[in-house]
Structure 1
């Protein structure tokens, strides 16, 4: 947390466990924006607060209102306890003023063209480029964009890749993913990879990767008692996607906060737009069968809620990018 001592003092006044966790969550969410502005949220002016809310409250109005309520309470406490001489500028802001298109632009990728531009920047060939680590990382990010779930990615076997048909068979579901020549080239490298080059105290050192059936394999030094036949931990995937997003931001200065889910949703939203169909037609013909294939016990209530959320996301996606 930014200004952690002050925020922890505030948190110590919260007795309800759910409220305590909610405040922790929102403080963590706005931390990087506080660092960007170099000030605590209680010191920000209206324009700065609007920028924070634009980028940090998601695409749903209820999230915006909840975040504003939590932060307003924190700023009230700061004023009452002499932590700031500022007014509570949240009282001057309406949730309707928050520009959701900025959130969408930060969290989603417009199209495959923008995705390739981001890949080129994040995984660009420079003096520090190490193909033994960067190629697997790039492939993980690309597979997220194609639509594979994190667990599917780490459980992919070399035999799941059909280089002639240009498809990857899911290790979990009865489906295949059509993939690009670039992905196939990266798959071939990973399938044949035997070692990784790592930075050491006196230069680079080589470390063998496990010899097993999986496309992505652990380094021997990371096993920590696990069998050499063990797959990667699926938590590796979010870390690689975050590193990809951070590398893009560092290189360009353009704010992005891309996650695995947002990558997958970005491609889905683009596919809906490119199909030329209405949202409802595409949902019924493509998205709903995929949901039921992955989770046959998905209830009608959950289906309708998913339809409602995706429709709102798609409307905002179109407003933002087209």
Structure 2
């Protein structure tokens, strides 16, 4: 079983489900609890202590195609929180998931569909970001770089960049590696990120006396700021929560509070589908195989999910392919 945040407590809940229901039910609930893991790690607290807004953000991050799917996850999260309350494992006796209404779920689904970005949106976003350190994260994710806990992004070093062949060597959390062909734009943004010496706070609009901070020169593409208590830095990759902090900047610049790493990743997948259709291709199994390889998606676990998310209807809603599709 994959490790969850506060794993011992989560496993106790899943064992309870196996006894009161069955093993398959426990597996379904486990997948919903996995959705909360990244935010639990970022906030450094268990799901049972989440606010109403934080629970809703977990549901929204799943990018559900329907209200029914979102409601199912809400039911699972609510059950876990109830179990924690009944067993005295959380400081509150109020289940904040009970406050999430049907209207909340409808809003969440609407935002998920609305806030994918096109390549044109991406370029506009890059043009509005003053720090290459921010630009490179969103560009890498859009083109297929990700990994568990963003390991492929965090581990990327100067020596991994092949500028001659527009290729980058990616290393995941288990130190497994793969090569990925990227665009010339991506290579340029990577170079700019490597060349950046100082990070400008608040996208160059800081209202405090401290406007910027030097960046550690340690060979990584995404680097730590030498500020506050961290004035020496380290030769380790940046922590995963650093990526979420960058997205806080992106949300402000785009005035889109729902933009997150998964949305950008899915946007990149939709763009690949759009390009393939514009080249006269069809969304067949060969296309999905190549898309899975590019975005390093498990064909065994997530292949059908990918097919459901990247289809002509979803691509058309973003790119109007009906107007542009070659006859």
Of residues 148, 169, 181, the one that matches 1:177 is 181
Asked if residue 278 in structure 1 is aligned to residue 283 in structure 2, the reply is yes
Shift of 1:175: 1.2
- What's 2:136 paired with? 139
Distance 2:77 2:220 in 1: 46
What is the number of residues matched between the two proteins? 241
- What's 1:317 paired with? 314
SS in 1 for 2:247: helix
Of residues 113, 118, 125, the one that matches 2:120 is 113
Shift of 1:108: 1.6
- What's 1:102 paired with? 110
Higher radius of gyration, 1 or 2: 1
- What's 2:166 paired with? 166
SS in 1 for 2:165: coil
SS in 2 for 1:170: strand
Of residues 54, 62, 72, the one that matches 1:28 is 54
TM-score, with normalisation over the residues of structure 1?
Answer: 0.58
Cα 1:222–1:287 shift into 2, 3 Å: farther
Distance 1:222 1:27 in 2: 30
- What's 2:253 paired with? 247
Q: What are the residue-to-residue correspondences of 1:66-77 with 2, within 5 Å?
A: 66=72
SS in 2 for 1:213: coil
Shift of 1:170: 1.8
Provide structure 2 residue ranges, at least 5 long, that are not aligned to the other structure: 1-15, 18-28, 34-45, 79-98, 321-327
Shift of 1:148: 0.9
Cα 1:26–1:304 shift into 2, 3 Å: farther
SS in 1 for 2:240: coil
- What's 1:230 paired with? 236
Cα 1:278–1:101 shift into 2, 3 Å: farther
Distance 2:267 2:284 in 1: 15
Provide structure 1 residue ranges, at least 5 long, that are not aligned to the other structure: 1-15, 32-52, 73-87, 124-130, 250-254
SS in 1 for 2:168: strand
TM-score, with normalisation over the residues of structure 2?
Answer: 0.57
Of residues 106, 130, 145, the one that matches 1:148 is 145
CA contact (8 A) 1:57 1:103 kept: no
Cα 1:220–1:312 shift into 2, 3 Å: same
CA contact (8 A) 1:106 1:257 kept: no
SS in 1 for 2:142: helix
- What's 2:260 paired with? 259
Cα 1:162–1:57 shift into 2, 3 Å: closer
CA contact (8 A) 2:226 2:232 kept: no
